[in-house]
Structure 1
Amino acid sequence: MTSSTRTFRSKTLRLTAIGVAATGLCVVGAGMAAAANPTSAFGQVVGTTVHAVGVDWSDMPAGYTQAQYEAFWAAEYSGEDLIELQELWSLDETETKSRAGQMLLDGEALPFAPGTHTTPELPANEQTAIAAFLDAGHTAEDVETLSALWDTEFVETKARAGQMVLDGEELPLGSAGSATPADS
C-alpha cells in the first residue's frame, strides 16, 4: 500500500504544482495585458478585480495618472506628435505622456498643436496597391530588396510594387516572400 499512497501523493503534488504555476502565468499574463493598455475594458476589469481582492496595484505606471493619459489623447495629439515630444524632451513614452498630459490639465500649451506631426493618409489608389502587394505574400525583405533596387523609400516601394501586382506584371524578385532578385 505504500507505493500506491506514494503514487497518489506524487500525482496530487504534481497536479497542484501545475495548477499553481498555470494560475500564476494567467495572473501575470492578465497583468501584462492590462498594463499594456490600462484604459481598455480588459485593463479596467483587471484593475478593479485586483483592488477588490486587496492587492495594491495601479493600472497606470507610477507617476502617470488616468487624468494625464486622458488629457493627452483627448487633445487629439497623434502617435507621431508623441514621438516628437519624446525627442524634444529626451523622455521615454510614459514620462512624455505624463508631462504633456499634466501641462494640458494645468492649461499650459505644448510646443506644437495637435496633429502637427501626423503622417497624411495615402491616396486610395496607393492604399489599394500596397494591400495588393502584401496580399500577394511579399515580405519586409522583399520591400528592402526592391527599395535598394529602385532607390525608393519603403512606402513608395510598396505602392509601386503593388501597382505592378495589380497590373499583372512580374516583380524583379524570385517567388513571393523571397528577397532574392529574379534572374534576368
Structure 2
Amino acid sequence: MTSTTRTLRSKTFRITAIGVAATGLCVAGAGLAAAANPTSSFGQAVGTTVNAVGVDWSDMPAGYTQAQYEAFWGAEYSGEDLVELQEIWSLEETETKSRAGQMILDGEELPFAPGTHTTPELPANESEAILAFLDAGYSGGDVEELSALWNTEYVETKARAGQMVLDGEELPLDPADVATTSGS
C-alpha cells in the first residue's frame, strides 16, 4: 500500500506543481500583454482585475498618465511624429509621449502639426510592383546597386524594378548577382 500511496501523492504533487506553474505563466503573460498596450480593453480588464484582488497595478508607466496618452494619440500624431519628437527633445519614447501629451492638455503648441512626419501609403500598383520584386528573390544588395545606378530612393527603386519584373523586363544587374539572388 505504501508504494500506491506514494505514487498517488507524487502524481498529485506533480499535477499541482504543473498547475501552479501554468497559472503563474498565464498571469505573467497577461501582465506583459496588458503592459504592452495598457489602454486596450484587455489591458484595462487586467488592470481592473488585479486591482480588485489587492495587487498594486498601474495601467501606465510611472510619470505617464492616461490623459497624456489619450491627448497625444487623440491629436492624431503618428509613430513617425513620435520618433521626430524623440530626436528633437532627446528623450525616450514614454517621456516624449508624456511631455507631448501634457503640452496638448495645457494648450501648448508642439514643434509641428500632427501627421507632419507620416509616411504616405503607397498606391496599390506600387505595392504590387514592390511585392513582385521581393517575390522574385532580389536582395537588399540588389536594391542598393539599382538605387546607385538610377539615383533613386529605395522605395522608388523597388517599385521601378518590380514594375520591370511584372513587365517581363530584365533588370540592369550583373548576371552573376542575379543568378545568386533570384535563383535563375
> If the TM-score is normalised by the length of the shorter chain, which range does it land in?
0.7 to 0.9
Q: Matches of 1:98 and 1:68 in 2, distance apart? A: 6
Alignment of 1:88-103 (within 5 A): 88-103=88-103
**What is aligned with 2:47?**
47
Which of 142, 146, 156 is the aligned partner of 1:146? 142
Aligned pair 1:69/2:65, yes or no?
no
46-55 or 149-158, larger mean C-alpha shift: 149-158
**What is aligned with 1:27?**
27
62-71 or 7-16, larger mean C-alpha shift: 7-16
Note the C-alpha offset of 1:182. 5.3
Q: Matches of 2:36 and 2:63 in 1, distance apart? A: 16
Note the C-alpha offset of 1:64. 0.6
Number of aligned residues? 177
TM-score by length of 2: 0.83
Cα displacement string for residues 108-149 of structure 1 (whole angstroms, at most 9, x for unaligned residues)? 111111111112222332122224445x375xxx44122133
TM-score by length of 1: 0.83
Unaligned ranges ≥5, structure 2 = none
Q: Matches of 1:156 and 1:16 in 2, distance apart? A: 59
Cα displacement string for residues 31-83 of structure 1 (whole angstroms, at most 9, x for unaligned residues)? 11111111111111111111122211011111111000000011111111100
Cα displacement string for residues 90-110 of structure 1 (whole angstroms, at most 9, x for unaligned residues)? 111111000110111111111
Residue pair 1:143, 1:158 contacting (<8 A) in 2 also: no
Over the aligned positions, Cα root-mean-square deviation in angstroms equals 2.6
Unaligned ranges ≥5, structure 1 = none
Residue pair 1:129, 1:159 contacting (<8 A) in 2 also: yes
